[in-house]
């Protein structure tokens, strides 16, 4: 049991490095509104990682094999992502900086209760569902796991493994946010602008891939 959990935990750490759309949104929220805002997105993402893992391992993912349902869900997700991305990355007027200390951290008034960050869950959900590679990744990973670590395993072992993946993913998000916070990447306005542009560029590249895959699948299904 222990080696199953450890394997799952390490897998969660590796697969959740924030280089995709959700990761960039997490970093951007943390930069603008503080650690709790970014971490809430990271935790929601970790929860969905665990959920996808569980669904793939027990085989329920085969239920959503319908092309029409998949296209509809991806289309809705793309609309939400585009809207949120526009609001998140559009240029905003910033207060004049009088000294270096005034830009060392996000305003304290943005550190709100955790319940105020529940609004990010639908965004993370749509971003995850809209990712055309997410389901394929976990279905293929489940086949590998069933033939190696989880041979002759049941629902209990599948659930334990999924929990391990979720915890590993959550720890990865926390480490990334704390690293960004402590190396003072965002403490100087120029650095913050550069990182915002990099974050926005990665987000747009990811969105372009999602849109390309969405229309490619639609065209292939019409032929």
Q: How far is CA 47 from CA 41, 167, 170, in A?
A: 10, 8, 8
Query: How do residues 66-121 score in pLDDT, each as one tens digit?
Result: 666 666 766 776 776 677 667 666 655 543 434 444 444 444 444 456 566 777 78
Q: Give the pLDDT band of residue 4 (cuts 50, 70, 90).
A: confident
Whether residue 191 is predicted with pLDDT greater than 70 in this model: the reply is: no
Average pLDDT value over all residues in the chain: 72
Token output for 184: 């003072």
pLDDT for the residue 89: 61
The C-alpha atoms of residue 211 and residue 217 are separated, in whole angstroms, by: 10
Report the predicted TM-score, pTM, of the whole model to 2 decimal places: 0.62
Helices (H), the chain: 2-15, 21-33, 35-58, 67-89, 120-130, 132-146, 155-182, 189-222
Q: How close are the terminal C-alpha atoms of the chain, in Å?
A: 48
Closest by Cα among 76, 96, 93, 73 to 84: 76
Task: Burial-class residue 71 by CB neighbours within 10 Å (0-12, 13-18, 19+).
Answer: middle
What band does 143 get if pLDDT is binned at 50, 70 and 90? confident
Torsion, CA 124, CA 203, CA 100, CA 107, rounded to 10 = -20
Structural domain boundaries in the chain: 2-90+99-222
pLDDT band at 206 (very low <50, low <70, confident <90, very high): low
**pLDDT band for position 164 (cuts 50, 70, 90):** very high
């Amino acid at each position: 049991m222990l080696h199953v959990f450890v394997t799952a935990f390490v897998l969660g750490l590796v697969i959740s490095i924030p280089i995709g759309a959700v990761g960039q949104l997490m970093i951007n929220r943390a930069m603008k509104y503080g650690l709790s805002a970014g971490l809430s997105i990271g935790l929601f993402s970790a929860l969905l990682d665990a959920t996808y893992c569980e669904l793939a391992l027990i085989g329920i993912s085969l239920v959503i094999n319908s092309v029409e349902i998949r296209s509809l869900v991806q289309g809705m997700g793309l609309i939400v992502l585009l809207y949120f991305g526009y609001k998140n990355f559009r240029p905003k007027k910033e207060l004049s900086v009088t000294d270096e200390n005034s830009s060392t951290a996000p305003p304290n008034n943005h550190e709100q209760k955790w319940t105020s960050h529940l609004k990010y869950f639908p965004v993370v959900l749509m971003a995850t569902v809209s990712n055309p590679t997410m389901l394929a990744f976990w279905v293929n990973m489940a086949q590998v796991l069933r033939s190696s670590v989880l041979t002759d395993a049941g629902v209990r072992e599948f659930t334990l493994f999924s929990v391990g993946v979720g915890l590993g993913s959550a720890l990865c998000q926390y480490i990334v946010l704390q690293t960004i916070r402590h190396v003072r990447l965002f403490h100087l306005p120029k650095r913050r602008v550069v990182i915002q542009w990099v974050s926005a560029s990665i987000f747009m590249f990811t969105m372009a891939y999602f849109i390309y895959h969405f229309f490619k699948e639609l065209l292939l299904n019409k032929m």
